[in-house]
């Protein structure tokens, strides 16, 4: 039995079909990168894994149990932005998870409990390379450092699944390379199962163990919402030959162009708006 099974999952908003007939299985410890044109349901899919959206049809199970459609500490998340608390320092941001766990009423720890939580948090902060900035507030950190903090925060709960929604989309290329190393390192060290959305195909090709392409294999230019996206490519990453890469790139670009075209033709609400 696979760790995660996705069984005939659909997602529709009214008559707009975002995802259709998604069937797949994922083993524990896989690192799946997800690419696709905007409006092809990548984020919607991640939200279903996270639990903030429920599938319209179908079922997702994790370790044999149906997924709870509410975010919980089983699944960590790092968004592109806003995933750290601006009113807490780096250390407080990471310790907060421990305080939520152990102090139900005040959500604050004192004395030895606090010290213990701080030590654990410091170790995690060190693992993401933020030891020099423990007392800084997020606004004093660069974009890359904020994302490191968000990762540290997510990992201290030791989630088995880590979801990354374009975590490096807003970063400079040089910093992005550093972050890739960090994520790969943490993934091995904590034996995580990672789902990562990226809009950078090259990132998708080499970062994970498996690459999923979300694409609309049927597209009606008059009604872009009539058919949903599916996983059109499911290939082991790292072994993608450049040719296959080009084909995927062309496919995704074609869909993106077609979606853009039909959206502007009919001045319909942006698909992006429907699937934020």
What are the distances in angstroms from CA 211 to CA 26, 27, 237, 261? 12, 14, 5, 27
Report the residue number, 187 or 205, with the smaller CB distance to other proteins.
Answer: 187
Spatial contact of 206 and 186, defined as CB atoms under 8 Å apart: no
Spatial contact of 19 and 230, defined as CB atoms under 8 Å apart: yes
Non-local (6+) Cβ contacts of 268 within 8 A are 224, 225, 262
* Shortest spacing between CB 97 and other proteins, in angstroms: 4
* Shortest spacing between CB 191 and other proteins, in angstroms: 18
* Shortest spacing between CB 267 and other proteins, in angstroms: 28
Name the packing angle between helices 111-127 and 143-155 (round to 10°): 130
Compute the radius of gyration of the chain from its Cα atoms: 20
* Shortest spacing between CB 100 and other proteins, in angstroms: 4
Chain residues in the site for other proteins (CB under 8 A): 50, 52, 70-73, 75-77, 79, 81-87, 96-97, 99-101, 104-108, 137-140, 150, 153-154, 157, 159
Q: How far apart are CA 3 and CA 18, in angstroms?
A: 25
Q: What is the DSSP string of 184-205?
A: HHHHHHHT-EEEEE-S-HHHHH
* Shortest spacing between CB 251 and other proteins, in angstroms: 30
* Shortest spacing between CB 89 and other proteins, in angstroms: 9
Q: How far apart are CA 21 and CA 23, in angstroms?
A: 6
Spatial contact of 109 and 117, defined as CB atoms under 8 Å apart: yes
Report the residue number, 138 or 208, with the smaller CB distance to other proteins.
Answer: 138
């Amino acid at each position: 039995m696979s760790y995660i099974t996705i069984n005939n999952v659909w997602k529709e908003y009214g008559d707009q079909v975002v995802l259709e007939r998604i069937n797949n299985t994922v083993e524990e410890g896989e690192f799946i990168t997800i690419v696709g044109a905007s409006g092809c349901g990548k984020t919607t899919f991640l939200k279903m894994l996270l639990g903030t959206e429920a599938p319209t049809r179908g079922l997702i199970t994790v370790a044999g149990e149906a997924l709870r459609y509410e975010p919980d500490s089983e699944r960590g998340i790092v968004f592109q932005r806003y995933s750290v608390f601006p009113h807490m320092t780096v250390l407080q941001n990471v310790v907060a998870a421990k305080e939520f766990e152990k102090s139900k009423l005040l959500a604050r720890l004192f004395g030895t409990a606090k010290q213990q939580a701080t030590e654990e948090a410091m170790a995690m902060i060190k693992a993401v390379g933020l030891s020099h900035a423990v007392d800084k507030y997020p606004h004093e950190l660069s974009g890359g450092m904020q994302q490191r903090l968000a990762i540290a925060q997510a990992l201290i709960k030791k989630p088995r699944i880590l979801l990354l929604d374009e975590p490096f989309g807003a970063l400079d290329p040089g910093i992005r390379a550093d972050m890739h190393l960090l994520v790969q390192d943490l993934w091995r060290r904590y034996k995580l199962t990672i789902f990562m959305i990226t809009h950078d195909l090259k990132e998708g090709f080499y970062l994970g163990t498996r690459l999923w392409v979300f694409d609309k294999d049927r597209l009606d230019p008059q009604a872009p919402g009539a058919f949903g996206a599916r996983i059109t490519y499911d290939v082991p990453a790292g072994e993608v030959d450049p040719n296959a890469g080009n084909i995927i790139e062309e496919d995704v670009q074609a869909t993106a162009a077609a979606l853009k075209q039909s959206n502007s033709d009919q001045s319909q609400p942006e698909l992006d708006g429907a699937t934020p």
